[in-house]
Amino acid sequence: MNRQRMGTAWSRARQSRLLRWVVVILALVLVFEYVVLPQLVGSDNVILALLKLPPILVVLAVLLQALSQASYSLLTRAVLPGETLPGFFTLFRIDLTDLAINHTVPGGGTTAAAARFRLLTRCGVMSQNALSAATIQVVGSNLVLAGLFGGALLATRGGVGGGRYFTTAGAVVVALLVLSIVVLMVLDRHLAGAVRAVRAAARAVRVIKPEAAEQFVRTLAAEIHMFRENPRRLVAAVVLAAARYVLGAACLWVFVAGFGYALEPQLLLLAYSLATLLALVPLTPGGLGLVEAVLVPMLAAMGAPQHVAVMAVLCWRVVQFWLPIPVGALAYLSLRLGVLRHSAAQ
């Protein structure tokens, strides 16, 4: 009887995974056919377009994207508690592996986070410290990204097509940003009350266990306390998080300029930050299709010719989305043959 029940449960799990994959694949096909494909009609091959660009521009774009990722790895070091930390090159390869998984698996943020957690712990980071750093890094980075979007929106002063939509989006982002800051302040000053509230909420919704909800809240509170005790660390974390996005936006600007249109920096940062926020939606890997569908018309509305917007975005995605996949695979291989091999032998 037990075997029969286990077999039935396993069959249902397999069917559930199959259904999820069918839905994801269907969504990818629809997004590509009705959103991405119409933008590509009449465009030259992206690789040929890349080859036609001055090599110095392509090298500069790749360097800016690499520096953007390096900023994220430095941010990892800034938020990791403890005195003994993995070296920067080790963290850089772990983050590249995380990025490759995130760009490969539909809704891959959870899978990538689990893989990153395992790699950090195998490289000597305590489990609690790895969880604490990951939590505050994701939350803090998203808050900084929202702040950049709000700042870019204020800098444009409504001087872009579709101003009402940007104003609405800006109001939503600013409201969420303020709400997040208030929540963090409550966690810092009224932890006991916050724990009681989240445990009660967890019992009511029955989606997450009260113990897990409490652990999440206490982890955030511990990180907030660490930054309050060390303001320099907080400043460094904010600067590094902002540098990650600014350098990524600069990479996109290089491609737009390479195809013959110099977009104002605040306009480009506005478009980039909104597209990056949308990429957080776990619908397709790394926002594939969604980012392109939003970014191309936004750049066109900001004055870039349609063909420039299409080719600049697609070439940028080659560097920002596709290139990290094989690079991340090589990074993981180097970890397996190096640090992880040595840690397993000890």
In percent, the amount of the chain with pLDDT more than 70 equals: 77
Determine, yes or no, domain membership for 8: no
Of 150-164, 194-208, 259-273, 307-321, the poorest mean pLDDT is in 150-164
**In the prediction, which pLDDT does 117 show?**
85
Determine, yes or no, domain membership for 86: yes
Query: Which of the four pLDDT bands, split at 50, 70 and 90, describes residue 39?
Result: very low
Determine, yes or no, domain membership for 289: yes
User: What is the mean predicted confidence (pLDDT) over 237-264?
Assistant: 94
Determine, yes or no, domain membership for 261: yes
Q: Provide the number of structural domains found in the chain.
A: 1
In the predicted structure, residue 246 carries a pLDDT above the cut 90: yes
**In the prediction, which pLDDT does 24 show?**
52
Determine, yes or no, domain membership for 17: no
Determine, yes or no, domain membership for 34: no
User: What is the mean predicted confidence (pLDDT) over 202-208?
Assistant: 75
Domain limits for position 176: 43-345
Determine, yes or no, domain membership for 260: yes
Of 119-128, 280-289, 309-318, the poorest mean pLDDT is in 280-289
- From the list 91, 75, 80, the residue with the least C-alpha distance to 130 is 80
Determine, yes or no, domain membership for 63: yes
User: What is the mean predicted confidence (pLDDT) over 26-37?
Assistant: 50
**In the prediction, which pLDDT does 3 show?**
46
**In the prediction, which pLDDT does 9 show?**
45
Question: Amino acid letter at 52?
Answer: K
**Residues in Cβ contact with 138 at an 8 Å cutoff, skipping those fewer than 6 apart:** 113
In the predicted structure, residue 170 carries a pLDDT above the cut 70: no
